[in-house]
Amino acid sequence: MPGLMGRLARTVMAGRRGRFVRWYGGGGDDDGGGGSAEDAQARELIDRQLKLAPAGGHQVLIVQPYIKWGANKDRSTRPEVKADESRSLVRTLAEWSVTDTLLVGLTSYRKHTFFGPGNVDAIALRVARDRRITAVFVSVNVLKPIQHQHLEHRFGVPVYDRYLMVVQIFRRHAVTREAKLQVALAELPYIWSRIRGAQDGYAERLGTEAGQIALSGKLMYDDKKDLLKAYEKKLKKLVEKLRSHRQHLRHNRTNKDLPVVAVVGYTNAGKTSLVRALTGDVGLVPKDCLFATLDVTVHGGVLPSNMTVLYVDTIGFISDIPTRLIEPFVATLEDAMFADVIVHIRDMSHPNVIVQKSHVEETLKNLSINPELLNSVIDVGNKVDRLDNVERDGSSVFISCTTGEGLDELKKKIESQIMKATGRRTIKIRVRTGQDEYEWLRTHTAIVNINTDGDYSVMEVIVTQSDLDVFKSLFIRKKINN
Ligand X SMILES: Nc1nc2c(ncn2[C@@H]2O[C@H](COP(=O)(O)OP(=O)(O)OP(=O)(O)O)[C@@H](O)[C@H]2O)c(=O)[nH]1
Contact between 267 and Mg ion by CB under 5 A: the answer reads no
Q: Which residues contact 30 (CB under 8 A, 6 or more apart)?
A: none
Name the nearest CA neighbour of 89 among 128, 113, 51, 58: 58
CA dist., res. 221 & res. 235, Å (int): 19
DSSP helix/strand/coil, 338 = coil
Nearest approach, Cβ of residue 439 and ligand X (Å):
40
Candidate list 86, 134, 182, 293; residue touching Mg ion; CB under 5 A? 293
DSSP helix/strand/coil, 328 = helix
Contact between 292 and ligand X by CB under 6 A: the answer reads yes
Do residues 152 and 120 make contact, with C-beta atoms less than 8 angstroms apart? Answer: no
267: partner contacted, choices ligand X, Mg ion, none (Cβ within 5-8 A by kind): ligand X
Nearest approach, Cβ of residue 314 and ligand X (Å):
8
Burial 43-56 (b: 16+ CB within 10 A, else e): bebbeebbbebeee
Among residues 271 and 411, whose Cβ is nearest to Mg ion?
271
264: partner contacted, choices ligand X, Mg ion, none (Cβ within 5-8 A by kind): none
**Number of residues binding to ligand X, judged by CB under 6 A:** 23
Beta bridge partners of 446: 462
**Is 266 labelled as part of a ligand binding site?**
yes
Contact between 272 and Mg ion by CB under 5 A: the answer reads yes
Among residues 276 and 411, whose Cβ is nearest to Mg ion?
276
**Is 77 labelled as part of a ligand binding site?**
no
Q: Which residues contact 419 (CB under 8 A, 6 or more apart)?
A: 425, 426, 462
| CA Rg value for the chain | 27
Nearest approach, Cβ of residue 299 and Mg ion (Å):
12
Nearest approach, Cβ of residue 293 and ligand X (Å):
3
Candidate list 149, 176, 182, 273; residue touching ligand X; CB under 6 A? 273
DSSP helix/strand/coil, 96 = coil
Q: Which residues contact 190 (CB under 8 A, 6 or more apart)?
A: 49, 50, 142, 163, 164, 167, 322, 324, 325
Contact between 382 and ligand X by CB under 6 A: the answer reads yes
Binding to ligand X by CB under 6 A, coded x per residue (else -) over 302-341, reads --------------x-------------------------
Contact between 265 and ligand X by CB under 6 A: the answer reads yes
Beta strands 97-106 and 260-265 are unpaired
Do residues 342 and 162 make contact, with C-beta atoms less than 8 angstroms apart? Answer: no
Binding to ligand X by CB under 6 A, coded x per residue (else -) over 338-377, reads ----------------------------------------
Nearest approach, Cβ of residue 72 and ligand X (Å):
28
Contact between 269 and ligand X by CB under 6 A: the answer reads yes
Length of the chain: 482
* Stretch near ligand X under the rule CB under 6 A, chosen from 35-43, 321-329, 379-387, 432-440: 379-387
Among residues 172 and 271, whose Cβ is nearest to Mg ion?
271
**Is 265 labelled as part of a ligand binding site?**
yes
**Is 293 labelled as part of a ligand binding site?**
yes
Among residues 127 and 264, whose Cβ is nearest to Mg ion?
264
* Stretch near ligand X under the rule CB under 6 A, chosen from 51-59, 67-75, 194-202, 260-268: 260-268
CA dist., res. 420 & res. 414, Å (int): 10
Contact between 267 and ligand X by CB under 6 A: the answer reads yes
Contact between 157 and ligand X by CB under 6 A: the answer reads no
287: partner contacted, choices ligand X, Mg ion, none (Cβ within 5-8 A by kind): ligand X
Nearest approach, Cβ of residue 201 and ligand X (Å):
40
Q: Which residues contact 444 (CB under 8 A, 6 or more apart)?
A: 463, 467, 470, 471
Identity at 23, one-letter amino acid code:
W
CA dist., res. 87 & res. 479, Å (int): 70
Q: Which residues contact 328 (CB under 8 A, 6 or more apart)?
A: 181, 182, 183, 185, 186, 239
Binding-site residues from annotation for GTP: 265-272, 291-295, 313-316, 382-385, 400-402
Binding-site residues from annotation: 265-272, 291-295, 313-316, 382-385, 400-402
Residues that bind ligand X (CB under 6 A): 265, 267-273, 286-288, 290-293, 316, 382-383, 385-386, 400-402
